[in-house]
Amino acid sequence: MNISENKIPEKNSTQAIEIVSVTAKGFGVGYINGFTVFVDGGLPGDELKIHMLKAKSRYGYGKIIEILRPSPHRIKSPCTIFDRCGGCQWQNCNYKAQLGFKKQIVIDALERIGQVKNPPVEDVLGMLKPVNYRNKAVFPVVPADNTAGFSIGMFSARSHRIVEVENCNIQHPAHVGVLKVVKKYMRRNKISPYNEITHKGLMRFVMIRTSLATKEIMVVLTINGQSLPLESRLAEDLTEIGVTTVVISQHTAKNNIVLGDHFRVISGSGFIRERIGHVTYQISAPSFFQINPVQTKALYEIAVTQANLKGKVVIDAHVGAGGVSLYAAKQAKEIIGVDIVDAAISDGQENARLNGINNMRFICGAAEEVIPSIINDISPQVVFLDPPRKGCEPGLIETLIRTQVERIVYISCDPATFARDVKMLVVGGYNLVTVQPVDMFPHTGKVEVSALLLRNTI
């Protein structure tokens, strides 16, 4: 759609706008004379007075000055720092409405990006109690103009400003207590925060993982060096508040990746164990695992039902520490799990042993490289896809199309890249049978899906 220049609202102007939809990043979407404007914090039904922050040729961004008429979905946020913290976007929104928004986000992605007409998207499966659900949190440590000289917390939305976290409605309650201990240790020992511009300073990130089933807590300290001063004393202080293992991640590269390539355990086992349904999972620092144990069980039940595994040979292209394949193993004839992270493969092998699963084997390597080399010999009837946010590599999709795998169950946390990959699969001869969204991330714009695609035999 072409917008004439005289219809584009000027930067720094004040405008009135009605919000009609939302994006996965939490923006409200409205139109001014046909010109698309994204408004931070806007909800469908809001009538707003906004300040135009930016106006490009096809879209712009606005900031709320005043709510002229609130959305019927708008509620008072239970979080006192909601408007400053970037951890979630919809604490100010009725939860039932959030589920409706997420369903529409998935539909829109499939129609717009995937070119799927009338996509078969089910209602989003929500949580009964959508609070304190996150079993993993990553807190950056940055320089600050305060008495301590550093801040630890969450990045403010779309910025590198840190908001200190004293309490959080979506994090496991143990996370804030860990931060208090780490802050005290840094102040007492004058530990410098990492500066991403100068690449100096020691402490980069604090990552915390918790287990709902076992109550175990892992703390991973990412540092720009080899060791921390008095690190055994820090481990003791963390142990006193319930932390069961402390790991140092050595990360001296000049990038903003959370974890380095080298890990050293300074107390405990170096892992935690979580239980999803009938399966126990051992999880080490670099291993991928879903962040919401309650909804993970629901997700796995859906995916296993879609896969219809009885007596079939299966490839899991992004197996992580075992994930859905361990949950499904007893129904399948054989499962081959592939993952590029060596530590995840080690965890997966140990998890298979822990659960007495003998029909799984694991291969370390990139899915798009490993699977083309083994797929003809294995001849799987089912493939699980659960890629990172960037989606599948084209080479993997092309291999599945070429070998005409009968059934694909695609688990995704990113509707856009999911829709892009679905388009390739549909063009290549697959039917998108059903898409079941699961609310793995309440109060945010993110949504998980499990989708079934079947090879078109006509």
pLDDT digits (tens, 9 = 90+) for 244-295: 999 999 999 999 899 999 999 999 999 999 999 999 999 999 988 899 999 9
Q: Is the dihedral of CA 424, 426, 429, 433 positive or negative?
A: positive
Q: Which residues are known catalytic residues?
A: 413
pLDDT for 50-67, tens place per residue? 999 998 988 999 999 999
Q: Is the Cβ–Cβ distance between 449 and 428 less than 8 Å? A: no
Contact 436, 451 (CB under 8 A): yes
The answer to whether the 5-69 and 136-275 domains have the same CATH topology is: yes
Burial class (CB in 10 A: 0-12, 13-18, 19+), 429: middle
The Cα–Cα gap between 380 and 396 comes to 14
The strands making up 162-164's β-sheet, listed across from edge to edge, are 162-164, 150-155, 136-143, 203-210, 217-223, 245-250, 262-267
pTM of the model: 0.91
pLDDT at 151 over 80: yes
Is residue 64 within 8 A of residue 39, CB to CB? The reply is yes
Task: Provide the β-strand partners of residue 181.
Answer: none
Residue 81 in this model has a pLDDT that exceeds 60: yes
Query: Which pLDDT does position 1 carry in this prediction?
Result: 47
Q: At 361, phi and psi to the nearest 5?
A: -135, 155
Confidence category of residue 337, pLDDT binned at 50, 70, 90:
very high
| Alpha-carbon separation of residue 292 from 158, 374, 408, 444 (angstroms) | 24, 33, 24, 13
- The answer on pLDDT for 76 being more than 80 is yes
Determine contact, residues 217/174, Cβ cutoff 8 Å.
yes
The mean per-residue pLDDT over the stretch 421-439 comes to: 97
Pick from 228, 229, 221: nearest CA to 246: 221
Specify the residue for token string 């550093």: 150
The token pair at 214 is 């076992």
pLDDT tens track for 186-234: 999 999 999 999 999 999 999 999 999 999 999 999 999 999 999 999 9
Whole-Å CA distances, 282 to 9, 55, 216, 241:
54, 49, 11, 22
Where are the domains positioned within the chain?
5-69, 99-128+292-455, 136-275
Residues 340 and 365: beta-carbon distance below 8 Å: yes
| Topology given in CATH for the domain delimited by 99-128+292-455 | Rossmann fold (3.40.50)
Q: Classify residue 250 as left (phi > 0), alpha (psi -120 to 50) or beta.
A: beta
pLDDT, tens digit, 9 for 90 and up, residues 3-37: 555 678 999 999 999 999 999 888 999 999 999 99
* Terminal CA-CA length for the chain: 38
Residue in 312, 458, 306 with CA at minimum distance from that of residue 385 = 306
Q: State the alpha helices, DSSP H only, in 32-112.
A: 95-112
Q: Is residue 82 very low, low, confident or very high in pLDDT (cuts 50, 70, 90)? A: confident
Q: Which two tokens stand for residue 393?
A: 């590599």
Whole-angstrom Cα distance, residue 438 to residue 279? Answer: 20
- What is the rounded CA–CA span in Å between residue 163 and residue 391? 30
What kind of fold does domain 136-275 have according to CATH?
OB fold (Dihydrolipoamide Acetyltransferase, E2P) (2.40.50)
Torsion over CA: 26, 30, 36, 38 (sign): negative
pLDDT band at 342 (very low <50, low <70, confident <90, very high): very high
pLDDT of residue 256: 87
Spatial distance between the Cα atoms of 331 and 326, rounded to a whole number of angstroms: 10
Q: What is the CA radius of gyration of the chain?
A: 23
Pick the CATH number of 5-69 from 3.40.50.300, 2.40.50.140, 1.10.10.10, 1.10.10.60: 2.40.50.140
Backbone angles phi, psi at 408, to 5 degrees: -120, 130
Strand 203-210 with 162-164, pairing: unpaired
Residue 107 confidence (pLDDT) above 50: yes
- Please give the residue that has the higher pLDDT: either 329 or 4: 329
CA atoms within 13 A on the CB side of 275: 8
**To the nearest whole number, what is the mean pLDDT of the chain?**
93
What DSSP string describes 422-457?
HHHHHHTTEEEEEEEEE-SSTTSS--EEEEEEEE--
